[in-house]
Structure 1
Amino acid sequence: MNDIEIRPAHEADFESMWSIFSAHIAAGETYTFSSATTREAAHQYWLGAGVHAFVATSSGGRVLGMYRLVPNQPGRGHHVANASFMVNPAAQGAGIGYRLGEHCLDQARRNGFLAMQFNYVVSTNTAAIRLWKKLGFAITGTLPKAFRHKRLGYVDAYVMYQLLQDPDHWPTADE
């Protein structure tokens, strides 16, 4: 796992990113995107304006996973980050998600975010829930039957949250 590099995503990475994205969407188990999501929509989601996207690559340059980091809300919610992660199905279980998660939390702090929120973690995605808890997130809300799982039908989704800095040391809110 030491031969993995995490770096900003480039346009040249998109073909691999699209392949990973397509595999997750086709599975219908973890993301709300429709199977009809276009390549252009996926490109905008991962590499659009205001998106900070990163990829984990092997020593040979193969994209193993990716994440995107954005503000969770505009304006008065802009201090809270949001992120989305996908790991190549062939690379799952090798610690790529953990490495991406650690990198993302560090990057969020460097970008000045004070907290991070995941708006929609599918309750049946136990590997992700275990990972996020290991990285310091807590489930702060349950959205009953909010996700239409491809195999299991309607299942819950969770909101997960983590403070990135002690609120006693947050900057004074301004207009």
Structure 2
Amino acid sequence: MSTIIAGHFQLQEEVERAKEELRNAGFGQGRISAFFVNQPGQHDMTPIGGDHAISPGASETPEGVVEGATTGGAVGVAIGALTSPLSGPVGPIVGGLVGAHVGSLFSLTKMKEAGEPEEGGKNLRVPREAGMMVAVALDGPADERRALDVLRDLGAHHIERAEGTIEQGDWRDFDPLSMPVVIA
């Protein structure tokens, strides 16, 4: 493992220029990696796709929907019973079904509007910005300043430091879900 410095770029031309300038600065081609980071949630980290088996922030959804459906169903049955002289014996049944449906929809809306924090945070943290990245594995601490200068001069943003292995141009142990250590 070595220290890796990586920066984000917007255009493919910028990526190619960064790779060329890093080579000109003395970094071997096999120690430079360029790749695209997908949007959060689109990394296919689970067998059915996505990044998590259960969506973050949706932990209370089943209980909330059941609660809303139960409350709505009870209200619907009561209203249906009151209208049974007009609607007959079907009134409480239809009232209960409609009430359960409306109650479940209302509970979903209420949970969405509440926007409760996830694990102590106000909003979900996005691990890493999507887009093109260029990364370079350093041979030693002296290489860091040179790599940073090249990436900054070329307009890289969200420059980060990580530990990992780049072999033959492939950052083998890159984890798109890890929280980046942004240094510039």
- Give the TM-score band, short-chain normalised: under 0.3
Q: Which fold has the larger relative contact order, with Cα–Cα distance below 8 Å and residues 6 or more apart in sequence?
A: 2
What is the TM-score with the length of structure 1 in the denominator? 0.26
Q: Which has the higher strand share?
A: 1
Which has the larger helix fraction?
Answer: 2
TM-score (norm 2): 0.25
